[in-house]
Amino acid sequence: MKEEPRKNVQNERCRIHLNAGRIFTWLHLIVLPFQGYTQDFGEPGHPMNKNTDNLEILKYWGTTSDADLMLYESAYRILSAEKSSSYADLMKCRSFSERIQKHGRKMLAGPMLGQIESDKATVWIRTLKPAKVEVEVQTEGGKVVFGPVYSSEATDLEVEVVVEGLKPSSTYPYQLKINDEIIFATIDQKITTLPESGANEAVRIAFGSCSHRWGLGNHRLLEQIRARGNHAMLLLGDIAVQDRNDHLGLHRADYLLRDFLPAWKQFASTVPVYASWDDHDYFDNDKAGIPEGYSEKDRDGVRKVFQESWVNPSYGDKSLNQGIFTRDRIGPFDIIMTDNRFFRTGEKGSFLGKSQMDWLKEQLLDCKGPFIILSCGTMWSDYVSGGKDSWGVNDPEGREEIFRFIEENNIGGVLLISGDRHGARGFTIPRKSDFGFYEFEAASLGGRVGPPANDPRWDTQLYGIDGKFAFGEFTYLPSGDEPTVIFRLVGQDGSHLFEKTIKKSELMP
């Protein structure tokens, strides 16, 4: 009897959330048709843009069940009602919890793969409540169980399970166990390990940016990435969250939209992903650092939600809980993903911040592979939009410091990748010597239409496309003579929109 009053308080709070959310949703739908469509993310003639309602995005692809549509609509109302709403708060709402049980859903989100190696990978999921989680892998010798690991409200019900002791270049079906109950897979859940170090096998990595929520539902594009045998996918920002500022409930609602999209669920359960953010999934368009009107606490809250929604090997400076930059090794590629949002103050040298700049230099010196993929959420070059919201306007000195450090230390094999400017473009960035950098941008996972894709004045341009869905792809070709990588810009129909073969010697300063 003593517990009943508290239950009533929680249920009343949930009811208030639901009513407030209904008002929010209906107002949003009423206002939407009258807003200007400055970013056309959809098919020709379709007004899909950054203001499009989440439920409309979920309906758009025609692949989401009616049960999941109803479930997500209920979740959105609860999460959008208060800025601090968490997934744990969502599950405490009796109406939502009952609906979950009615539909027989066993977890809130996942699985999502990451941190792939030749002998292991990491599996991420989000449970319905604090739970014991294991991963059961089918090996040649039989089923092997990894874990347990326990999810908690402290990490917003997310958990990561490391699967190890696998063989190189092998594929393993897997399924989840929650509280000792096997969760039978309804999608194709497989881990494909990398080739053994030094093996004479190709390694393929896809990358891109600007899916802007709705692009994660594009079956044709995501299936193309998967079918081509990419060992991993690098997502460079503007991925799943759209201009939510400090409303953490809406950040979570957007990530839940990602996890309810059938195309994403199938993709992330088989292709390991690595993620960084840019302005739209940070706070809002062009915002960085601690935006005016917000606080350090707001910035830390956004970072925490991001950290609990991906499966990266690390997130920025662990000792200071700052930034989300990360590094990993994927076969012959050293992967360095920078964070150009968290540390900016507007002062000289703050584009990455001193601590991240020092970290970056250490990582560059430590790289052992023949090629280094160095990412930035915004473009490295200044051709498009005059370097707007990027290095050219904010910190050309910092960019020069990085380039000069690479040259002075004879760090070879650096491939620059970027995003932000919708569409896709590539450039060479000439240096004072005969050496130059290559920059490959593929901001066309969802945001196809943006600034001009080509300009006759851009005399170092490699390619430029507009109005097409595409992703970037690096294929490492082992060779006894010289390590070689092929870059391809690939359309969702599998066509090669641009292709360039690069030898390691071309990337030696």
pLDDT of residue 2 exceeding 90, the answer is: no
Count other Cβ atoms within 10 Å, centred on residue 98. Answer: 10
pLDDT of residue 366 exceeding 70, the answer is: yes
pLDDT of residue 190 exceeding 50, the answer is: yes
User: What local confidence, expressed as pLDDT, does residue 39 receive?
Assistant: 38
* Rounded-to-integer distance, Cα 371 and Cα 497, Å: 23
What is the average per-residue pLDDT within 377-398? 94
pLDDT band at 25 (very low <50, low <70, confident <90, very high): very low
User: What local confidence, expressed as pLDDT, does residue 7 receive?
Assistant: 44
pLDDT of residue 272 exceeding 90, the answer is: yes
For residues 59-73, one letter each, b for 16 or more C-beta atoms within 10 angstroms of the residue's C-beta and e for the rest, the string is ebeeebeeebeebbe
What is the average per-residue pLDDT within 11-23? 51
What Cα–Cα distance (Å) separates residue 222 from each residue in 65, 72, 193, 268, 498? 19, 22, 19, 9, 19
Percent of the chain with pLDDT over 70: 91
pLDDT tens for 46-90 read: 556 778 899 999 999 899 999 999 999 999 999 999 999 999 999
For the chain, state the CA radius of gyration: 22
- What 8-state DSSP symbol labels residue 73? H
By residue count, the chain amounts to 509
pLDDT band at 11 (very low <50, low <70, confident <90, very high): low
User: What local confidence, expressed as pLDDT, does residue 199 receive?
Assistant: 87
Q: Which residues pair with 440 in a beta bridge?
A: 417, 426
User: What local confidence, expressed as pLDDT, does residue 15 receive?
Assistant: 57
* Rounded-to-integer distance, Cα 331 and Cα 328, Å: 10
Q: Tell me the pairing of strands 273-275 and 326-330.
A: unpaired
Alpha helices in 343-457 (DSSP H): 354-366, 391-394, 396-408
pLDDT tens for 295-315 read: 999 999 999 999 999 999 999
Count other Cβ atoms within 10 Å, centred on residue 439. Answer: 22
Q: What's the token pair of residue 124?
A: 């991420």
pLDDT of residue 33 exceeding 60, the answer is: no
pLDDT tens for 403-457 read: 999 999 999 999 999 999 999 999 999 998 788 999 999 999 998 788 999 999 9
What is the average per-residue pLDDT within 328-339? 97
pLDDT tens for 253-270 read: 999 999 999 999 999 999
pLDDT of residue 40 exceeding 60, the answer is: no
Q: What's the token pair of residue 202?
A: 């190709």
pTM of the model: 0.93
User: What local confidence, expressed as pLDDT, does residue 19 receive?
Assistant: 53
Across all residues in the chain, what is the average pLDDT? Answer: 91
94-103 and 4-31 helices, crossing angle to 10°: 80
User: What local confidence, expressed as pLDDT, does residue 47 receive?
Assistant: 57
pLDDT of residue 480 exceeding 80, the answer is: no
Q: Tell me the pairing of strands 203-208 and 232-235.
A: parallel
User: What local confidence, expressed as pLDDT, does residue 263 receive?
Assistant: 97
pLDDT band at 30 (very low <50, low <70, confident <90, very high): very low
Q: What domains can you pick out in the chain, each with its CATH number? A: 4-34+65-103 (no CATH), 109-191 (2.60.40.380), 209-507 (3.60.21.70)
User: What local confidence, expressed as pLDDT, does residue 8 receive?
Assistant: 47
3-state secondary structure of 98: helix
Percent of the chain with pLDDT over 90: 83
User: What local confidence, expressed as pLDDT, does residue 233 receive?
Assistant: 98
